[in-house]
Amino acid sequence: MRSRLLSGAAALLISISGLTGLTACGSSSGSGSGDDAGPARLTVWIMRDSVAAPVLKAFTADFEKAHPGTTLDIQIQEWDGIGAKIVSALAGNDAPDVIEVGNTQVAQYAASGGVDDLTGKVADLHGSDWIPGLAEPGKIDGKQYGIPWYAANRVVIYNKDLFAKAGITAPPKTRAEWITDTTKLDTGGNQGIYLPGQSWYTYAGFLWDEGGDLATKSGGTWSGGLDTPQARAATAFYRQLQALGQGPKDSDEAKPLQANAFAKGDVAQIISTPGGAAAITEADPALKGKLGFFPIPGKTADRPGAVFTGGSDLVIPQASRHQAMAYQVVKALAGTTWQTRIAKAMSYVPNRTSLAGVLKGDPGASAMAAGAADGHATPNSPNWAAVEADNPIKQYLTQVLTGADPAKAGRTASEAITKALNTSS
C-alpha cells in the first residue's frame, strides 16, 4: 500500500472543533461515555494517496446522511513530518478526534499519552474476526487502543512466461515446492528469484513460520530473538532461497528498485506487495498481462507462510468532547460496507478475515488477502522505531549471506535489539 507498508508515519487525523486539552492515556471509560453525541463539524485529515478522492467523497456523503447536522471537512495531509505532528497533537490543546496511525506505531502514540482505551468496543466491531497483523499491535498491555482499518502485505509476483518455459503449471504451495520450482527457474541466464539480502520483512515471515520472533517480552523486559534455533532455521531457508538469483546481499528492495530488476525480463519472481506489479509494467509495458501472484508459501500446504502486515489502525484521543460521534466515524470506516468499498477501490486487505472474499476478482489482492490470514506485526514496543533506525536485522542478514557464523551474528543482532527495546526514552 504505497509507502504505508514500509513507513511507520502513516496517519489519518479526524478533528472536531472546540476540543479541550488532552489528558494522559489509560482511561478505561471507553468512547462515547458521557460525551456530546449531537451534531458536530468534523475536520478530516487524510494522508495523500491513502484513499482515492471519489471514495472519500462517497464516504462523506454517506456519513453525513446517516448523521443529520454533522459535517465532514476532509483535508489532505502530506507524509513528510506527520509522525511528529501526531505526537505534538496528542501533547497539545488542538488534537483531532480520530487518528489513523501506522499499525506498528500504536504503542508509541499510546505511550505518548491521550489515547482512548477502546477495549469495550471490540465486540461491537467484530474484533474476534480481525486479521491478527492489525489487531495485535493495537493492543497494549491487554487494552485495545488501535482499531484495525485496512492492511497490505507481501506476495510473490511471478513471470508467467518463465514459469511456463520451466514447465511449472501451478504456483507452489509449500516451501519445499517453492525451492524446487525456483531451482528449475534459475537457469539459462534467468534468475529463479530476485531477493535482496536485506529484505528483513520477508525474513521475519520465515522466522514467524518457525515459531520464533524478532523479539519477545518477559517480566517487563525485552529480548532480541535472532540468536535462537528458530532464527537459525529461518536464516538457513532465507539463504537457500536468496542464492537462487542475483539479488544484492548488502541492500534492500529499494537499492536498486526490485521492480526495475524484474522488468528486465530475466527474473522469474520477486516478493512484493501486489502494487509492485504496476511499477514493473510501467518500466516495461510488454510485461502487462504476463504477471501472476501467489501467497508466500508456508511449511505445509494447508496454510500460506506468515507475513508482515503493514497498514493502519484507528485511535481516538481522550480529549474529544464528541467521542460518541468520533466512535461513529471509526465504526463506519471499520464496518462491513466501507471495508468492502475501500478494499475493492484500493486493493487493500479488509480488517476482517471473513471479508477476504470481496477481493476475489483481483488476483494480486486475493493472494495478499490469503496471506494476511497469518499476518504479524513487529514487536509491540514504543521503542521499535529505534531498532529500525540502525536495523541490526539488516546487518545480520548481510553478515550471514556473506559467510559469517549465524550463531555469532545472531547474538550480536539480538544484543542490539535488546538494548534498543529496553532503553528508556
pLDDT digits 0-9 by tens, 31-89: 444 356 667 887 767 666 667 789 989 998 999 999 999 987 777 766 567 678 888 78
Instruction: Give the three cell numbers for residue 399.
Output: 553478515
Question: Could you give the percent of the chain with pLDDT greater than 70?
Answer: 88
Mean of per-residue pLDDT scores for the chain: 87
| The three cell numbers locating residue 170 | 501451478
Q: Tell me the C-alpha distance between 195 and 296, whole Å.
A: 13
Per-residue pLDDT averaged across 360-384, rounded?
92
- pLDDT attached to residue 138: 93
- DSSP secondary structure string for all residues of 179-211: HHHHHHHS-TT-BS----TT-HHHHHHHHHHTT
What per-residue confidence (pLDDT) applies to 332? 96
- Topology agreement, domain 2-153+309-376 and domain 155-307+380-421: yes
pLDDT at 135 over 60: yes
DSSP string over 311-333: EEEEE-BTT-TTHHHHHHHHHHH
Tell me which fold the domain 2-153+309-376 belongs to: D-Maltodextrin-Binding Protein; domain 2 (3.40.190)
Element (H, E) at 16: strand 11-16
Q: List the domain boundaries for the chain.
A: 2-153+309-376, 155-307+380-421
Other residues' Cβ atoms within 10 Å of the Cβ of residue 93? 10
- Report the distance separating Cα 136 and Cα 280, nearest Å: 33
Indicate the CATH number for domain 155-307+380-421: 3.40.190.10
SS3 373: coil
Taking 90 as the threshold, does the pLDDT of residue 385 lie above it? Answer: no
**DSSP E strand stretches across 202-346:** 215-218, 221-224, 269-272, 291-294, 307-308, 310-315
Grouping H, G, I as helix, E, B as strand and the rest as coil, residue 69 is coil
pLDDT at 19 over 50: no
List phi, psi (to 5°) of 289: 85, -5
| Chain centroid to CA 214 | 16
Q: 393 to each of 73, 168, 197, 215, 306, how far by Cα in Å?
A: 42, 34, 11, 11, 18
CA 217 – CA 384 distance, rounded (Å)? 13
> Is residue 114 classed as helix, strand or coil in its secondary structure?
coil
Residue 214: all three cell numbers together: 524478532
Q: What is the mean pLDDT of residues 262-289?
A: 94
Backbone torsion region of residue 217, taken as left when φ is above 0, otherwise alpha when ψ lies between -120 and 50, otherwise beta: beta
Contact call for residues 379 and 208 (beta carbons, < 8 A): no
State the pLDDT at residue 94: 74
Residue 215's SS3 state is: strand
pTM above 0.85, yes or no: no
